[in-house]
Structure 1
């Protein structure tokens, strides 16, 4: 395997190249542009926000028996309360089931083909923003048994081979779990990048990313790589699969959801478990999204005034305009004719055993909307 550059060296090279480009313009114009682009992004825990999230599925062209699976918010933590879910439609049978390992819940609806399948699922959740006070120690402690599954490999996140070697290279010399995670977070930002052409949220195949050195992807790829490297470095970590609900309070369009139509608003985040701080929020993928898409110009400098506040805040925090469905990997949906899902944050459907493409909501007719109560 070709040795990887030290992340600090990579970042210095990146910053040097960026600085050279900036010198081509005059200093006054550069200062003016930076002043105009300067942003704030400072999510802080506070009041709980209450949302009602509605998913509607309408399989108008289904010609036979059909099944629909809709993920439900099933996370209850100090940053989300999954309160209730209700459903309606013309299914002959509707039930809720949960994954035995991760507790991910989903509605299963069965249709007999006598009418075009219609299903509506309405969930209520409370969310709040997060920010870690690094000067304080958390009193909440997880047991080794409860952390075990957040240190295990999954089908798409192996922890041996190239993943383990890469994690060791990145964290060599780090003395604490915080230092390890900071090294990995920074390496992800300077090494990976947002690739808009990737479908959906990506696949999360971290071994393929490392072996091909194709580090372009979306949140399902980039945060999966972050989580896998943390686990391989000995730090418990997990992906949180969910959806953005409303606009960002800080004006970042790429960190916002349109509540009237949440088509394509699915987004996964990450958490790490730190000995002194408990579960801590992380989202390096959103830093890359801001760099690539926020201004219309691909920003290559992670210290750019548009990027810097996001990079700082998303190491230890995130904004509460987003809802998590679950932390699950490798799910086999009951009654499905397809194989395991790497993760579940999109509705799924089949007619006569043939699966619909959940990444094509124009062909697979479903909508998701939200309203804050």
Structure 2
């Protein structure tokens, strides 16, 4: 099993990481091809009835707020930013075709010139033209070209957070703006009495990079989720939608922990499982192709070379317990 391990950054502090396993189980911390931390667990010599592990950590999050005037966060070099300008296997062609054409059209219509203006124009377009689709499996696959083709054809277009964040990232990258999807899980609630089940609370956020501000958060996916949950009409309830857009533009709440970033990941040690030839099974898998994960937002596991579908939660659970007594960030 490969379990994503949160690491500290400007918006979260991770402490007291523990990996508790049976004595027969091998454990070690590794990193994937994007540098994300992994708790790797090998149960080969562990009796089947003892193949249970607990990975835990203490996280302190703070709300992500817009940078103050003159403040720059997470300064990066051009060489470091290069990987945030390319496409993934599902990110679409950024140089021509529907991704580039859609991006150019949005920016031109808004007469956007600066990085922030272009990012805001694409953000506004996405909220206006895409939707959250609750029937989507997991957080979605993030097939950008297919979503944009559906939108252009007048079909219901969108999905869940990976789909919506991936569209945002690709449209930005088509403008030469570094952008990325960051994968994590919600940590909601203030009840200190008991742990809360968060097993299905995964959420993918998006960020773009501005040379003056550093990494900037924008979350059209959560705007569109709120529109669906609150049963809002984008035209009739325009003021409410605009308020939601403002809430998730250039900032975000603290009720989430980042676990990983990046697409088309190779894990360490490498996956040996193959993508199932049965589409009914493959649709519940995080494997994008043999040996490569679409993203590392979920735990991954294999048994005797057979993939354990990450979107079927019988194999694992997440829980979160709020602690109001300690301020660590």
TM-score over 0.5 for the alignment?
A: yes
CA distance 1:323–1:140, shift in 2 (3 Å): closer
Does residue 187 (structure 1) correspond to residue 125 (structure 2)? The answer is: yes
Looking at structure 2, the residues matched to 309 and 247 of structure 1 have their Cα atoms a distance apart, in angstroms, of: 23
Contact 2:26 2:42 in 1 (8 A): yes
TM superposition shift of 1:107: 1.0
The DSSP-based 3-state class of the residue aligned with 1:367 is coil
1:242 aligns with 2:184: yes
Q: Deviations over 1:309-328 (max 9, x none)?
A: 32102110000010000112
The separation in 2 between residues aligned to 1:302 and 1:103, in whole angstroms, is: 45
Distance in 2 (CA, whole Å) between partners of 1:140 and 1:122 is 27
Q: Which runs of 5+ in 2 are unaligned?
A: 275-289, 324-329
Aligned 8 A contact 1:245 1:259 in 2 = no
Residues 1:86 and 2:24 are matched in the alignment? no
> Residue in 2 aligned with 1:282?
218
Alignment of 1:101-250 (within 5 A): 102-112=34-44, 114-116=47-49, 117-133=51-67, 135-138=69-72, 141-158=75-92, 159-160=94-95, 161-172=97-108, 173-213=111-151, 214-247=156-189
Distance (Å, rounded) in 2 between the aligned partners of 1:365 and 1:151: 35
The answer as to whether partners of 2:91 and 2:145 remain within 8 angstroms in 1 is yes
Match of 1:358 in 2: 310
* Distance in 1, Cα, partners of 2:203 & 2:30: 23
- Please list the CA deviations of residues 183-229 of structure 1 after superposition, one character each: whole Å capped at 9, or x if unmatched: 10001101110100001100011012122335220000001100111
Tell whether the 8 Å contact from 1:246 to 1:259 is kept in structure 2 after alignment: no
Deviation at 1:372, TM superposition (A): 2.5
Question: Unmatched 5+ residue regions in structure 1?
Answer: 1-67, 250-257
Q: Deviation of residue 298 (structure 1)?
A: 4.2
Which segment is superposed worse, 223-232 or 152-161?
A: 152-161
Query: Residue 285 of structure 2 aligns with which residue?
Result: none
Aligned residues of 1:291 and 1:302 also touching (Cα < 8 A) = no
Relative to the length of structure 1, the TM-score reads 0.73
Are 1:151 and 1:237, in contact at CA under 8 Å, matched by a contact in 2?
A: yes
State whether residues 234 and 241 of structure 2, in contact with CA within 8 Å, keep that contact through their aligned partners in structure 1: no
Q: Is the 8 A contact 2:198 2:319 kept in 1?
A: yes
Residues 6 and 257, structure 2, Cα contact 8 Å, conserved in 1: yes
Give the aligned length.
292
Farther-moved stretch of structure 1 (81-90 vs 236-245):
81-90
In the aligned structure 2, how far is the partner of 1:164 from the partner of 1:319? 31
Q: Is the alpha carbon distance of 1:137 and 1:94 closer, same or farther for their aligned partners in structure 2, counting shifts above 3 Å?
A: closer
* TM-score (norm. length: structure 2): 0.83
- After TM superposition, the runs of 4+ consecutive aligned structure 1 residues lying more than 6 A away are none
TM-fit CA distance, 1:133: 4.4
1:263 aligns with 2:199: yes
Which has the greater radius of gyration? 1
Note if contact 1:137-1:277 (Cα within 8 Å) is conserved in structure 2. Answer: yes
Q: Distance in 2 between matches of 1:133 and 1:326?
A: 23
What is the root-mean-square deviation in Å for CA atoms of aligned residues? Answer: 2.2
* CA shift digits 1:110-132 (9 cap, x unpaired): 11252331111012222110111
Shift of 1:307: 3.3
Change in 2 beyond 3 A, CA 1:194/1:174: same
Deviates most, 110-119 or 178-187: 110-119
Q: After TM superposition, give the deviation of residue 83 of structure 1 in Å.
A: 3.0
What secondary structure does 2:53 align onto? strand
Q: Which shifted more, 124-133 or 227-236?
A: 124-133
Mapping of residues 324-335 of structure 1, within 5 Å: 324-333=258-267, 334-335=269-270
Relative distance call for 1:302 and 1:121 in structure 2 (3 A) is farther
8 Å contact from structure 2 (residues 2, 38) kept in 1: yes
SS of the residue 1:224 aligns to: helix
